[in-house]
Amino acid sequence: MDASSQKQEEGKKEQHSAFVKLTSALFYAASSLLITVVNKSVLTSFRFPSYMCLGVGQMLTTLAVLQVAKMSKKVHFQDFDSGIFWKVFPLPLLYMGNHITGLASTKKLSLPMFTVLRKFTILMTMTMEVYLLRKTFPRRLVYSVVTIVFGAVIAASSDLAFDVEAYAFILVNDVFTAASNVYTKMKIGTEGLGKYGVLFYNALIIVVPTLLASAFTGDLHQAVTFEDWVDATFVFCFLLSCIMGFVLMYSIVLCSYYNSALTTTVVGAVKNVAVAFIGMFVGGDYLFSWNNFLGLSICLAGGLAYSYLTFNTQTSQRTNEASDLKILAAEEPSLKTTVH
């Protein structure tokens, strides 16, 4: 293969890689949007009393789907052994904390305020990547993150449905989410695990402690005696939430596999643009105020600016690389002539 053909092949591979990165990001955004709405329906509209039992259902679904896929040779990851826990640690603890605090905050907060306070995850993820992965970020991206947080503070300061417990849950959930994204990126490359192993063994390790915690707190009893189990609509929504729990976890791992932890967090923030405005018209628990609306708008504008700057930087890099390839290709004949 000559140099020109090789460069064209590399260009095609790069385009395919960019397409896969974008597709995985969109898949995560769609999954995150859908599960937020479904969980809100189960926990608020139907008043299902146990967010921990809902999390257990999502974990059991993940285990069942991946085990069947492994037995049918559709996916591959290593069998269980005594070293698995140390390979995935501390992800099980982070995933369990993320699940519990995330479902609890979804139940206690309105959709718009939930998405506003979730914006702090971006700042936390950026900070963790700086200290844990030794990454640096352009000043413009840092400014856009500050804008997002500033808008979130304005919106939260005038929340007429202020709830200290709910706010504490969501901020702790932000920490768990940021840490999970960063460590997921680190653990995916562990030998023998891969993205499917990370998913399976995280769910396997945390499902029993979560179930025991649910039983100890009385959540399990409330879930078992819940009166709407005879309601076909509720059962459908509950099962849909369980399935979407697996889809969401898979989409997060997939997005982190093909992108960075920060990109995964940014995608979640962009998804919140849609959720925030949907929550103003769906759910019936959004209390309007101009300060809140202004804060939401600033927050969303910062998220869009962040996404644009990130995408524009990647596009510019690909454009520059393509230009360099063209220049090299044009210079090759003259170089050959000079040699001769």
Is the separation of the CB atoms in 103 and 54 below 8 Å? yes
User: What is the per-residue pLDDT for 331?
Assistant: 45
Is the separation of the CB atoms in 198 and 184 below 8 Å? yes
User: What is the per-residue pLDDT for 67?
Assistant: 94
User: What is the per-residue pLDDT for 159?
Assistant: 63
End-to-end CA distance of the chain: 21
Could you give the 3-state DSSP secondary structure of residue 189?
Answer: coil
Task: Report the distance separating Cα 92 and Cα 210, nearest Å.
Answer: 11
Torsion 110-113-119-125 (CA) sign: negative
Could you give the 3-state DSSP secondary structure of residue 190?
Answer: coil
User: What is the per-residue pLDDT for 195?
Assistant: 84
User: What is the per-residue pLDDT for 225?
Assistant: 92
User: How far is residue 54 from each of residues 42, 58, 117, 145, measured CA to CA in Å?
Assistant: 9, 6, 22, 32
Task: Report the distance separating Cα 261 and Cα 266, nearest Å.
Answer: 9
User: What is the per-residue pLDDT for 326?
Assistant: 45
User: What is the per-residue pLDDT for 232?
Assistant: 93
What letter represents residue 99's amino acid? H
List the one residue out of 249, 212, 206 whose CA is nearest residue 66: 249
Residues 6 or more apart from 132 whose CB is under 8 A from it?
A: 182, 186
pLDDT in tens, the chain (340 residues): 566 666 666 666 767 777 787 788 889 988 988 888 898 889 888 989 888 889 899 999 999 999 999 999 888 888 888 788 888 888 888 877 887 787 677 666 766 667 677 778 888 888 898 888 788 888 888 888 888 888 877 876 766 566 777 778 888 888 998 898 888 888 887 766 788 888 899 889 888 888 888 888 888 899 999 999 999 999 999 999 999 999 998 998 888 888 878 878 877 776 765 666 666 666 555 666 777 778 778 877 887 787 777 666 554 454 444 444 443 444 444 434 343 3
Output the DSSP codes for 216-248. Answer: HHTHHHHHHT-GGGG-HHHHHHHHHHHHHHHHH
- Residue given tokens 């519990």 in the structure block: 100
Residues 6 or more apart from 308 whose CB is under 8 A from it?
A: none
Task: Report the distance separating Cα 9 and Cα 175, nearest Å.
Answer: 42
What letter represents residue 169's amino acid? F
Is the separation of the CB atoms in 269 and 145 below 8 Å? no
Is the separation of the CB atoms in 117 and 156 below 8 Å? yes
